[in-house]
Amino acid sequence: MKTLVCFLLLAVSACAQTLHIYTWADYVSPEVVEKFEKQHGCKVVVDTFDSNESMYAKLKAGATGYDLVFPTAYMIQVMNAQGMLAKLDHTKVPNLPNIDPAVLAKVTDKTMEHSVPYTFAYAAIAVRKDKIKDAEASWAMFDRPALAGRVTLLDDMRESIGAALKSLGHSINTRDEAHLAAARDVLIRWKKNIARFDNEGYKAGIDSAEFHLVHGYSGDLFQVQMENPKVEILIPREGVTIGCDEMVIPKTAKQAELAHAFINFVLDPAIAAENMEWMGYYCPNKPALEKVSPEFLKNPAITIPAELQAKCEVIEDLGPDLAKYSKVWDQVKAAH
């Protein structure tokens, strides 16, 4: 009897382990999560955020319940500078060599000391091709008065100011106040046409044709397009922002061991390929790319031609100059 009681206590203890993940919506395949739970005899709880800034604010305000977080590279620079991130134990992540060196070359933490690239994505545009017959791959689409009320822009300071800067031929990381003032004026002009700034509803909106033109994340748009062929993804010829979202373990994590195990699990080539095709984002995992379908790699949201890729930029941490962007964003939001 004693043996049975001990066994049951051990079983309950093993199952009591819960990994708390804080990430973007629709960012990890439920099947992948289920497989991990089964393999590790644990429970995974996934909470979501809709912007790096809201995630950061929550953690800074004292939220300590998360074991694994998926911020964008520029925010990781901020979090690491403030001592919020744990150093990764590479011996617990034997699948790290699967990460594409070309992607590592574009991020700050090239040795993966505290972060591991998860996805490489773009903020692009999507149109309902049954509603817009003369769509063009250009940010100029947001100037069309005929689309007024049928348009959304991302409710994200860096993404939407970045789009306006790109439309003018400027860098998305500019510190030049004249460039930023010009981008502000472009956004205020675009604002007259948009239904709203939006980070979530644009997916259902473009699917239902409530919206005819949306600014959104490539993986989200890919998911909608897979269900609805009337949705077409376009990469503006002026260039777009590149976001590299990465996996980090906060210093406050209670299940750091399990967090390392999850990172290693999603870097397994077969799991990464399955996860990639489900969410529609490109995972920089070289062996996994050999396991995805050719159709997946042909999608414009996944593979961008080299000449256009050269015009795309990774969002960087701007340090004190971020205040210039906050000022512009406040002016855009207040404009009528």
User: SS3 letters for the chain?
Assistant: CHHHHHHHHHHHHHHCCEEEEEEECCCCCHHHHHHHHHHHCCEEEEEEECCHHHHHHHHHCCCCCCCEECCEHHHHHHHHHCCCECCCCHHHCCCHHHECHHHHCCCCCCCCCCCEEEEEEEEEEEEECCCCCCCCCCHHHHHCHHHCCCEEECCCHHHHHHHHHHHCCCCCCCCCHHHHHHHHHHHHHHHCCEEEECCCCHHHHHHHCCCCEEEEEHHHHHHHHHHCCCEEEECCCCCCEEEEEEEECECCCCCHHHHHHHHHHHCCHHHHHHHHHHHCCECCEHHHHCCCCHHHHHCCCCCCCHHHHCCCEECCCCHHHHHHHHHHHHHHHHCC
Give the tens place of pLDDT for each residue, 263-283. Answer: 999 999 999 999 999 988 889
**Is the per-residue pLDDT at 13 higher than 60?**
no
The burial class, CB within 10 Å (0-12 / 13-18 / 19+), for 136 is: middle
Asked if residue 173 lies in contact with residue 318, where contact means CB atoms within 8 angstroms, the answer is yes
Q: How many residues does the chain have?
A: 336
For each of the domains in the chain, give its residue range(s) and CATH number, in order of start: 2-119+243-292 (3.40.190.10), 121-242+299-334 (3.40.190.10)
Report, as an integer, the average pLDDT of 241-256: 94
Tokens of residue 123, six digits = 């903020």
Q: CA–CA separation, 213 vs 168, rounded Å?
A: 20
pLDDT digits (tens, 9 = 90+) for 75-132: 999 999 999 999 999 999 999 999 999 888 878 899 999 999 999 888 999 999 999 9
The per-residue pLDDT for 294 is 87
Assess contact for 48 and 269: CB atoms under 8 A: no
C-alpha span between 169 and 175 (Å, rounded): 14
Mean pLDDT of all residues in 195-204: 95
CA distance 233 to 12: 48
Whether the predicted pLDDT of 8 surpasses 50 = no
pLDDT for position 46: 97
Give residue 166's pLDDT band: very low, low, confident or very high (50, 70, 90). very high
Is residue 298 pLDDT above 90, yes or no? no
Cα–Cα distance, 322 to 81 (Å, whole number) = 15
207-230 average pLDDT score: 94
Q: Provide the CB-side half-sphere exposure for 159 (13 A, CA).
A: 25
Q: What is the mean pLDDT of residues 133-158?
A: 96
pTM beyond 0.85: the answer is no
In degrees to the nearest 10, what's the CA dihedral of 38, 40, 45, 50?
-100
Residue that the structure tokens 């890919």 belong to: 222
Q: How confident is the model at residue 12 (pLDDT cuts 50, 70, 90)?
A: very low
Half-sphere exposure at residue 195, Cβ-oriented, CA atoms within 13 angstroms: 18
Mean pLDDT computed over every residue of the chain: 92
Q: Are 21 and 46 a contacting pair, CB within 8 Å?
A: yes
Angle, alpha carbons 117-121-127 (nearest 5°) = 165
For the segment 37-56, the average pLDDT, to the nearest whole number, is 94
The whole-angstrom separation of Cα 200 and Cα 187 is 20
pLDDT of residue 16: 62
What pLDDT score does 50 carry?
87
Q: What is the pLDDT of residue 10?
A: 46
Residue 7 has pLDDT above 60, yes or no: no
Q: Which residue has the higher pLDDT, 31 or 7?
A: 31
Residue 325 has pLDDT above 90, yes or no: yes
Q: Which of 233-246 are b and which e, b meaning 16 or more Cβ less than 10 Å from the residue's Cβ?
A: bbbbebbbbbbbbb
